[in-house]
Amino acid sequence: MMGADAWKNKQVKKGAVHQSWPRCRQRGKLIQIDGSPHDWFEGRAEVCNLAVFIDDAGNELNLVKRTKVTQYLKHR
């Protein structure tokens, strides 16, 4: 089919490349937050959001237990 030009191979587009930035030297200067709402307790409690805080300086993961994200940010 390719020889008869009945089928043509698709051109693969190159995705946009995001530029990386230099890591911050000070801990706590740049913290990225990601949340994952899920039925973590399988119906035994309300749906919760697992929040993960990633510190850019040390590439550390921090979990906050039993608190709201807004409360955590007020105390930083």
**What are the beta bridge partners of residue 34?**
52
Given CA atoms 43, 44, 46, 51 in this order, what sign does their dihedral have? Answer: negative
Could you give the C-alpha distances from 67 to 5, 17, 46, 75, in angstroms and in order? 62, 36, 14, 12
Starting at the edge strand found earlier in the chain, the sheet holding 60-63 runs 31-38, 48-55, 60-63
**What residue ranges do the domains of the chain occupy?**
31-74
Q: Is the pLDDT of residue 67 over 60?
A: no
Distance of alpha carbon 54 from alpha carbon 47, whole angstroms: 23
pTM of the model: 0.42
pLDDT digits (tens, 9 = 90+) for 7-62: 777 777 777 777 777 777 888 788 888 888 888 889 888 888 777 788 878 766 67
Decide if pLDDT at 70 tops 70. no
